Amino acid sequence: MRGVTPTEPQTPTDLPGPRSHGHSHGHSHSHGPPTPVSAHLRKVIAAVLIPFAVAVLAGLVVMWPGGAPPHKHSGLGLDQQTRSGRVVKIEEIDCAKAGATPQQQSPQPGGGPPAAQGPCEKSEIEVTSGPDKGRTFTELVQPSASRHYTVGQEVVLAYAPKAPKNLQYAVTDVDRTLPMALLAGLFALAVVVVGRLRGVFALVALVVSFGVLTLFILPAILHGSDPLLVAVVGGSAIMLIALYMCHGLNARTSVAVVGTLTSLMLIGLLGALFTQWAHLTGDTDDQTGLVHGLYPEIEIRGLLLAGIIIGSLGVLDDVTVTQTSAVWELKEADPAASWRKLYGSGMRIGRDHIASVVNTLVMAYAGASLPLMLLFSIADSGIGRVATSEIVAEEIVRTLVGSIGLVASVPVTTALAALVVSADRHNTKTRAKSGPRARGASRGGRRRRAK
């Protein structure tokens, strides 16, 4: 009995051979391999990107730091020796009897609730790592403290070897290894379940990117290399590894790489211009001051520029890959489309993407700097004065420079992608050879197999 063959549309997506997935989705990241371009175009793209990749590799080799430089621990902030500990006992006692400063119940500014009152908590802490393993000490927690402990809770201890014996250890933080590891596992599982093989490659690229950050970028800056140059070399290495590993070694990914590189150059130039023009030093918090104190040779303003470039890189990848994929899919849907038509259609897609991505970047920076945002509501100097103060202006420059680079990446990448697919004659000839007769033969073959 003959099988019933459904009617198939006469569209270019029925062409035989390797091609892109016929339908694009929300961000236009195709699931199938892109249509290969001609040998001539591959040579042109290689002539642009191979020297760039070689220069990045040479930069990695020349500036490779070989680990963070040694230094004497200052005992301040994060720069202190630490040990593991565990809360073994908690006892409620009177704060006055324990010698703690009594809490004064005074009205809070603005008529808020008074400070918390009640007994103090005397916590017995056991050292669980290091040569003093098994040693115990007590920690007094007042009722107004933001953190209270529970019996059995794992904590992080600050260790000061030169201090008197009874003051050598103090609780500095809680141990968050289990919840953080569980969250990372859930993230990896979600990426693999939804992304499948692409998700696995994305996780591998994430690990490699983190390795470049921790093994090259951070130690190289600590060794005194120019932070901006280190960020450009390291960011370019991350870009090449992540894009080609996640999206394949093909012309479409190469166009996204060129678009990302162009936008990064613009971000670097604008960042350098406005940080200098606005007289931003980059030394606006205690951690930056501590790093500068330990390594005076670090150029703090360059560190600010490096942060702007690295912070923009991840979102740039998404925008450039999306725009390139969109143009490729538009060409697949309409092989006769001109460069102008492809560019116009791609830009209509890109405008929607610009609106969402810029808002994403601004909200990401605002969320990371939420305490600074509170200055707008509590400062007596006025919004204008607060916004132009260095600590807030630094975040504004970081956000706006990154957003300008994102906005510019859309027309740049769209134009590059449209030029590449329009200049390619290889795919046009392939489609011409596989006309209606070839498609009819293909459908006939499928009917014969269905018998």
The stretch 241-250 carries a mean pLDDT of: 86
The C-alpha angle with vertex 180 and arms to 179 and 186, in degrees rounded to 5, equals: 90
Q: Report how far residue 127's alpha carbon sits from residue 136's, in angstroms, rounded to the nearest whole number.
A: 6
The percent of residues above 70 in pLDDT, for the chain, comes to 72
381-410 pLDDT, tens digit each: 566 666 677 777 887 888 888 889 889 999
115-145 pLDDT, tens digit each: 446 788 888 989 998 888 989 888 888 888 8
Its sign, for the CA torsion 79, 81, 86, 92, is: negative
pLDDT for residue 23? 39
The answer to whether residues 232 and 58 touch, using CB atoms and an 8 Å cutoff, is: no
pLDDT band at 435 (very low <50, low <70, confident <90, very high): very low
The answer to whether residues 151 and 87 touch, using CB atoms and an 8 Å cutoff, is: yes
Between 205-209, 306-310, 436-440, the lowest mean confidence (pLDDT) is in: 436-440
Q: What is the mean pLDDT of the chain?
A: 77
56-69 pLDDT, tens digit each: 999 999 988 877 66
pLDDT for residue 415? 92
pLDDT band at 294 (very low <50, low <70, confident <90, very high): confident
Name which residue leads in pLDDT, 219 or 15: 219
Q: Report how far residue 204's alpha carbon sits from residue 252's, in angstroms, rounded to the nearest whole number.
A: 21
Its sign, for the CA torsion 419, 424, 430, 433, is: positive
Q: Report how far residue 425's alpha carbon sits from residue 430's, in angstroms, rounded to the nearest whole number.
A: 9
pLDDT for residue 414? 93
Among all chains, which residue has been given the structure tokens 């006939």?
Answer: 444
Name which residue leads in pLDDT, 234 or 76: 234
| 358-365 CB contacts, 8 Å cutoff, 24+ apart | 358/403, 358/406, 358/407, 360/315, 361/312, 361/315, 361/399, 361/402, 361/403, 361/406, 362/399, 362/403, 365/311, 365/395, 365/398, 365/399, 365/402
pLDDT for residue 187? 95
The stretch 219-224 carries a mean pLDDT of: 84
The stretch 336-347 carries a mean pLDDT of: 89
pLDDT band at 100 (very low <50, low <70, confident <90, very high): low
Residue 24, Cβ density class (10 Å: 0-12 exposed, 13-18 middle, ≥19 buried): buried
Its sign, for the CA torsion 399, 404, 410, 415, is: negative
Q: Report how far residue 239's alpha carbon sits from residue 200's, in angstroms, rounded to the nearest whole number.
A: 17
Tokens of 129: 């790592």
pLDDT band at 446 (very low <50, low <70, confident <90, very high): very low
pLDDT for residue 75? 58
